[in-house]
Amino acid sequence: MTDNLFQYLLRLGDDRLVLGHRLSEWCGHGPILEEDIALANIALDLIGQATLYLKLAGEIEGKGRSEDALAYFRDAIDYRNVQLVELPHGDYAVTMVRQFFFDVFSYHVLEQLQSSTHSEIAGIAAKGFKEVRYHVRHSSEWVVRMGDGTEESHRRAQKAVNDLWRFTGEMFQADDVDRAMLSEGIGADLDAIKPKWNEIVSDVLNRATLVIPNDPPAMTGGRRGRHTEYLGHMLSEMQIVARSHPGAAW
Amino acid sequence: MNGPIVDILREVKDPEIPMIDVVELGIVRDVSVDGDTVRVDITPTYSGCPAMQVIERDIVSVLRAKGYDNVQVNTIFSPAWTTDWLSEETRQKFRDYGIAPPTGASRAEGGIAELVSLRRARPTIECPFCRSANTVEKSEFGSTACKSIHFCNSCHQPFDHFKAF
């Protein structure tokens, strides 16, 4: 039970930490000032949520690891995020399509977790749920704007959907950890979320004049520590200061 | 809540909106004294608000300055912080500082289908300088997580809005 709960919290934390870091890479490079600021804000929300889940994970594990220890001193093989969030941020279409796919997923997960039997998870989720509501509004607006925009923006948005689609199935792959957490009333019901995710995503892509590719959403393994090569590169940058100067404070 | 301690905590301001103290902002949820230990329960505004760490440190230091050496600051999450807790007096302080106070619905209204429909309800935000309602939202995201950016068509001033959340 404790190990399942620890694993479950790592998943919630790592998805948000890795995606938050990817968004933060846009800081100073956004296509327009307002979007630069928007992505920095959303990154801050996600990293903030991750901090809360990882802090709780460290307490549950009981080995004295803080949220910083979990973020900066674990290698890629010990990260439990889905592969979708670790892929490079690409162009703005990739960033926004990926964000939209994750936001719709996160919306439904956090909606359910608000009534988790674990009171701290429920409280953290209630705060995050208020935040994901404006995240998904922002990302869906951009998916429609780019998909149903110019020839060039449409081409890029469709390419982003094509390239990312095979990574979307992993979010809904329930394993023993998910089943144990669901049966305890702690975790979210991924089987119930999948059709809702499909419905919203199909509706928005349709309005964006974007087509869902035929490839099966086959890429998987992140929850067990099997990642794409991109995560290690990302972590090396994210972790270098903390690892070069352990215990440093500023 | 313990009155004298609450009065001391009013000295702690939010570093990003320094005219507002942490009690009126609703961050301080409970204060209790047990022997020589003061316990302060606080709740975060946004999950990633960087001001929270500063606020936590400031709470400890103002209480220490008044002789309370054992201060325990706990973070609680329920009920989730909302701008609904701000009084009219506090809202006026926002205007005086040049920030439009929270306007519109803070509560989750409608499901995800509505959120992604592109039919966003945009409340009329009154300009904090000239009180004109002829304003336009420039960006839902501003200099901090809690603010959006607007422009007043009447007095031609850009201004921040403390979002209803």
**Whole-number pLDDT of residue B101:** 96
On the question of pLDDT at B105 being above 80, the answer is: no
Q: Rounded to 5 degrees, what are φ and ψ at A58?
A: -60, -40
On the question of pLDDT at A23 being above 80, the answer is: yes
Cβ distance B115 to A126 less than 8 Å, yes or no, reads no
- Residue written as token pair 């979007």: A35
pTM of this structure: 0.95
3-state helix, strand, coil in chain A (%, to 5): 75, 0, 25
Q: How far is Cα A156 from Cα B50, in angstroms, rounded to an integer?
A: 35
User: Among B82, B71, B86, which residue's Cα sits nearest to residue B20?
Assistant: B86
Cβ distance A137 to B115 less than 8 Å, yes or no, reads yes
pLDDT above 70 covers a percentage of chain A that reads 100
B46 by DSSP, 3-state: which?
coil
Tokens at A139, concatenated: 């990302």
Cβ distance B139 to A123 less than 8 Å, yes or no, reads no
Interface of B with A in 72-131 (CB under 8 A): 76-78, 80-81, 108, 112-113, 115-116, 118, 120
**Whole-number pLDDT of residue A1:** 65
User: Among A189, A191, A164, A196, which residue's Cα sits nearest to residue A83?
Assistant: A164
pLDDT digits (tens, 9 = 90+) for A39-85: 999 999 999 999 999 999 999 999 999 999 999 999 999 999 999 99
End-to-end CA distance of chain A: give it in Å, rounded. Answer: 37
**Whole-number pLDDT of residue B145:** 87
How confident is the model over A90-101, as a mean pLDDT?
A: 98
What's the burial of B135, exposed, middle or buried (CB within 10 Å: 0-12/13-18/19+)? buried
**Chain B contacts of A48, Cβ < 8 Å?**
44, 46-49
Q: Show which residues on chain A lie within 8 Å of chain B, measured between beta carbons.
A: 34, 37-38, 41-42, 44-49, 51-52, 104, 107-108, 119-120, 122-124, 126-131, 133-134, 136-138, 140-141, 144, 196, 200, 203-204, 207
How confident is the model over B19-41, as a mean pLDDT?
A: 95
